[in-house]
Chain A
Amino acid sequence: MSQTTDLIKYTLQIADNALVLGHRLSEWCGHGPILEQDIAITNIALDHLGQARSLYQYAAELFNNLPLVEKNDLFASAVLQQKINAEEPLDEDDLAYLRDGWDFRNVQLVEQPNKDWAYTVARSFFYDSFNFHFYTALQNSADKTLAAIAEKSLKEVAYHLRWSSEWVVRLGDGTAESHERMQTAINDYWMYTGELVTMSEADTAALNTGNGVAATALKQKWDEQVNAVLQEATLARPEDGWMQQGGKDGRHTEHLGYILAELQFMQRAYPNMEW
């Protein structure tokens, strides 16, 4: 494995988080609890989607410059293999629409279902609390493109964190019903938070080359952020306990398969066309 393939994997890890979370948030469009928040959550979905696109474009560019042997090793999907063997260059859409679940590197947290406003807020809050500190650190990446994407995205992510934190507080310290719903959501999605700050192979490789961020080092900041907001929200922080792992290495929950079935349907049913 070359340094470039490591960098591709790392870039995809970030991109897949953004795409999958953006996809989940976009499911709310037209179904929000009030028009103003329908619009707000869609803005956030658009931000994630925009970040995913920048990152996929970069990953595709890196990929297209690889020697053929290394290209063949990266993705398992049969359709991608065919493209690669035909020496066709890949683009952002190929990466989003033609990889199968085991080639997706997003954390399991972001693929969890929306369920209700509380679960959606909990998922975003956990992720944004990580993402804000992650992008802050990634601005110092030795890789200029990643650093630039981080800098640009950070403004958006700061707003996401503000939005989700405020909703945690509102629901936690709102009515008895909202308090209970928020606490349940926090408890249920808690086991997916450990993966955010656990190092994957791609994380370690990226850290060693100066391209990446030490995810484990973000744990303290994440804790501080989460504790402060939960406290303000009068919510209890669950015990750290057993954490689910595997998303960053391509092992997902059952939910991702259904997301991909929907997301990729057109490209699968009508392959090799311009849209």
Chain B
Amino acid sequence: MTTSNKAEWPLWEVFIRSKAGLDHKHAGSLHAADAEMAIENARDVYTRRMEGVSIWVVESKYIHASDPGESESLYDPANDKVYRHPTFYNLPDELKHM
């Protein structure tokens, strides 16, 4: 009986562009020995139903996340800046495709 004494394959985060013109979106994670394998595994695991046209992978340990405890200082100011949101602008109904 041989039991692995080595480390587990690293964890990767997978981001998928579901169709041309859209942003990559976090799809999930998986294990792979290296980046190439991570991309191939992502293809096999997360695009079995033609869900993607482009794949990004990044080793999970390189993801830096914001501290949820600070979420008020990070996100609340944006609540004031309604001009960032398209619905802020009153435009005539006749105007299309904007």
Query: Which A residues are within 8 Å of any B CB, using their own CB?
Result: 34-37, 39-40, 43, 162-163, 166, 170
A118–chain B nearest beta-carbon distance, Å: 14
| Identity of the chain B residue whose Cβ is nearest the Cβ of A42 in the assembled complex | B44
The answer, among A40, A162, A166, for a CB contact under 8 Å with B44, is: A40
Using A43-B44, A43-B48 as known contacts, say yes or no to A36 and B36 having CB atoms under 8 A apart: no
Q: Jot down 17 A-B pairs with beta carbons below 8 A, ordered by A.
A: A34-B9, A34-B31, A35-B31, A36-B31, A36-B32, A36-B41, A36-B45, A37-B41, A39-B44, A39-B45, A40-B40, A43-B44, A162-B40, A163-B40, A166-B36, A166-B40, A170-B33
* Complex interface residues of chain B between 34 and 71 (CB less than 8 A to chain A): 36-37, 40-41, 44-45, 48
Q: How far is the CA of A40 from the CA of B36 in the complex (A)?
A: 14
Total inter-chain residue pairs, C-beta < 8 Å? 25
Of all A-B residue pairs in the complex, the 4 with the closest CB atoms, nearest first, are A36-B41, A40-B44, A39-B44, A43-B44
Which A residues are in CB contact (< 8 Å) with B31? 34-36
Interface centre among A36, A40, A162 (most CB of B within 10 A): A36
Q: How far is the CA of A163 from the CA of B40 in the complex (A)?
A: 8
Q: How far is the CA of A35 from the CA of B45 in the complex (A)?
A: 10
Chain A interface main SS type? helix
Which B residues are in CB contact (< 8 Å) with A166? 36-37, 40
B63–chain A nearest beta-carbon distance, Å: 19
Q: Is B48 a contact of A36 with CB atoms below 8 Å?
A: no
Which B residues are in CB contact (< 8 Å) with A35? 31
A164–chain B nearest beta-carbon distance, Å: 12
Say yes or no for B27: interface residue by CB 8 A criterion: no
Q: How far is the CA of A163 from the CA of B9 in the complex (A)?
A: 18
B31–chain A nearest beta-carbon distance, Å: 6
Given contact pairs A34-B9, A36-B30, A163-B40, enumerate 4 new A-B contacts (beta carbons under 8 Å). Answer: A36-B41, A36-B44, A43-B44, A162-B40
Which B residues are in CB contact (< 8 Å) with A43? 44, 48
| Identity of the chain B residue whose Cβ is nearest the Cβ of A38 in the assembled complex | B44
A169–chain B nearest beta-carbon distance, Å: 11
Which A residues are in CB contact (< 8 Å) with B45? 36, 39
